[in-house]
Amino acid sequence: MKIVVLTKHVPQAIGEVSFAQDLTMDRAAVRCRLEDSDEYAVEQATRVAARRLDVQVTALTMGPSGAVAALRSALALGADEGVHVLDDALHGCDAPATSLVLAAACRRLGFDLIICGTASADGAMSVVPPMLAERLAVPALCYCDWLGTAEDAVLGRRDDGTILEELTAAMPAVVSVTDRSGEPRYPRFEAVAEARHKLIRTWSLAELGIDAAHVGLSAAATAVRRITRPDPQPATVSGSDPQAAAVRIADFLTERQFL
């Protein structure tokens, strides 16, 4: 059985990257780490591997050279090997381009199960798992609070406290897991040391058969170069009569039972 775990390196603290940061700046300029939600994905992959025979867990990432640190963390948590898609053209990839690259890498690896976290700290969109499943033409079980496998199927469970959903899909499949799926293990010193010697392969876009014009900043007709925060505007109430404005505010609060 082949399991692919998607991993991503994100800034050590989102506050380290200015909101108005030039988007052409290399992410290597800030300290990065393995995305928290991906630790749960690696944990679930290793739990599946412990319950079945002959399971290979591959951690997959894409990004600049610093992204290899995320792979090393995943290897220390129990993944068997890593694959790093590294190409200058990847700079500025959006979610569709990311899913395109990851789908090509998963096809090349071969897989029975792809396990992802829910949403990254820097993107927070939760769209890559279903996009990936769509590109690979396989079922997707998203936001699973529990994950299990049968002989040829993957089982999931979602529980929002009100409704319990039992999910089943035939493998191959894509699954995303939440932070309620099981606490990630703390890597032992021996595991961290062993991770330094595990295999990490590096693939380019050309090796995946992807035209660089279809990803990154070159894929957009006009690229976003800078994001700036607008000046905050004080809340105002239309009208020049303070007494009338106070009455309108009181009526508004009374209608909604705040007063």
User: Does residue 76 surpass a pLDDT of 70?
Assistant: yes
The pLDDT value recorded for residue 30 is 60
CB of 212 closer than 8 Å to CB of 117? no
pLDDT at 95: 86
Q: Higher confidence at residue 253 or residue 56?
A: 56
What φ, ψ does residue 230 adopt, rounded to 5°?
Answer: -65, 150
Q: List the one residue out of 107, 113, 33, 111 whose CA is nearest residue 77.
A: 33
List pLDDT tens digits, range 124-156.
678 899 999 999 999 999 999 999 999 899 999
Q: Which amino acid is at 111?
A: F
Is this model's pTM higher than 0.85 or not? no
Q: pLDDT per residue over 89-136, tens digit each? A: 888 788 888 999 999 999 999 999 999 998 776 666 788 999 999 999
pLDDT tens track for 14-48: 444 443 344 444 555 566 778 888 899 999 999 99
User: Could you tell me the pLDDT band of residue 67, with boundaries at 50, 70 and 90?
Assistant: confident
